[in-house]
Amino acid sequence: MSAPVPNRPLRLGMVGGGSGAFIGAVHRIAARLDGEYTLIAGALSSTPEKSRASGEALGLSRVYDDYLAMAKAEARRKDGIEAVAIVTPNHMHAGPAIEFLKRGIHVICDKPLTATMAEAKKLAAAAAKADALFVLTHNYTGYPMIRQARAMVAAGEIGRVRLVQVEYVQDWLTEAAEKSGSKQAEWRTDPERSGAGGATGDIGTHAYNLACFVSGLTAEALAADLSIFVPGRALDDNAHVLLRFEGGARGMLWASQVAPGNENGLRLRVYGDKGGLEWAQEDPNYLWFTPFGEPRRRITRNGAGARPEAGRMSRIPPGHPEGYLEGFSNIYAEAARAIRAHQAGEKVPEGVLYPTLADGLAGMRFVEACVQSSRRNAGWVTL
């Protein structure tokens, strides 16, 4: 099971995540769950007043009016934050990330990387120069059975990969929620704040990241048919994508926010010439494995057949379900291990895995390519 809790939690700050935000609360729980971080500082909202109110509600020691003030002040303190969580809408990722990175403060940033490819490149350049880590919360890679699946593919248990089928299906934008007061819907359907991708950026990037993470493959080209089903919407709410991977594997990716009856239906299936793997986020404690010609097997988190790569991401015995927050926490815990190694002047320990800037850039390229392809009537675009 999980490693012993460390003696001293890392000092964490947060940009965004004021009251009313959804993902900020998730990051706070994820940071806290394993005792790896203690949240002490924040610039939580777009206005100083709101930021202050939110900071007080959270009992933070130090609340700032804006992220720049926070980056400057914290960098000067001996007991300043060691890492910052950036949980703003997409267009507000690059700015703060660059400011903290250049001051040596590690960044844990929500996905997708940025709103635009231009910002993404600027951020990448800043990160390359910085003496600090950049961690992107493609949180689904923190699920134990996803680690299990990746390890099984890498070990050749399904043979050479031929097919990667992935989907992330929701229904919450079936109607124009952005016009009836949902803040979440507002910014996620707004190109200014979200970027060029709608469902593509918001959930398609997760699906794409997961497909590559588990299969161990790089996609070479895609053909995308994006749709806007809800009248008046500016960004895609459904994406149908064909994928071609290096080495000849092929895949399909479906991302939708308009499929009634689906909540967070992220589902991955990978097939090779010797076996197949199937996993669903809504039922994450199981991985279904079929060696070709044998009965299907249900491998459980921490149960029989689970590998160390899954076990180290798990806290409790099998049959006691862990979920979304635990998977998210695993990314925070992996980040903590990497940060502690960095602080000690050591390499990231073997087996520690977290999504990086490279993953973020790949996600941005995925969105960009989807949009390009769709404009060209679903013609192939090289990745």
Judged by CB under 8 A, the residue of 131, 175, 192, 346 near a copy of itself is 175
Among 75-83, 92-100, 364-372, 375-383, the segment contacting a copy of itself (CB under 8 A): 375-383
Q: Segment near a copy of itself (CB under 8 A), from 118-126, 144-152, 160-168, 193-201? A: 160-168
How far apart are CB 125 and a copy of itself at their closest, in Å?
A: 34
Question: Which SS3 state, helix, strand or coil, does residue 50 take?
Answer: helix
- Terminal alpha carbon distance of the chain: 38
Quote the least distance from Cβ 172 to a copy of itself, whole Å: 8
Q: Find the binding residues for a copy of itself in span 242-301 (CB under 8 A).
A: 242, 244, 248, 250-252, 254, 256, 258-265, 269, 271-276, 278, 281-285, 288-300
Report if residue 138 touches a copy of itself, rule: CB under 8 A: no
Q: Which of the stretches 119-127, 316-324, 337-345, 350-358 binds a copy of itself when contact is defined by CB under 8 A? A: 316-324
Helix, strand, or coil here: 348? coil
HSE-CB for 350 with a 13 A CA cutoff: 1
For residue 112, cis peptide bond before it (omega within 30 degrees of 0) = yes
- Does residue 49 interact with a copy of itself by CB under 8 A? no
Residue 328 beta carbon to a copy of itself: minimum distance, rounded to whole angstroms: 9
Tell me, what DSSP letter sits at residue 248? G
> Looking at beta carbons only, is 166 or 364 nearer to a copy of itself?
166
Q: Rounded to whole angstroms, how far apart are CA atoms 12 and 366? A: 31
State which of positions 7-26 bind a copy of itself (CB under 8 A).
7-8, 19, 22, 25-26
Question: Minimum distance between the CB of residue 151 and a copy of itself, rounded to whole angstroms?
Answer: 15
Q: For residue 215, give both structure tokens.
A: 């299969």
Distances (CA, A) of 67 to 72, 152, 193, 268, 343: 9, 42, 17, 37, 23
Instruction: Judge contact between 269 and 166, C-beta under 8 A.
Output: yes
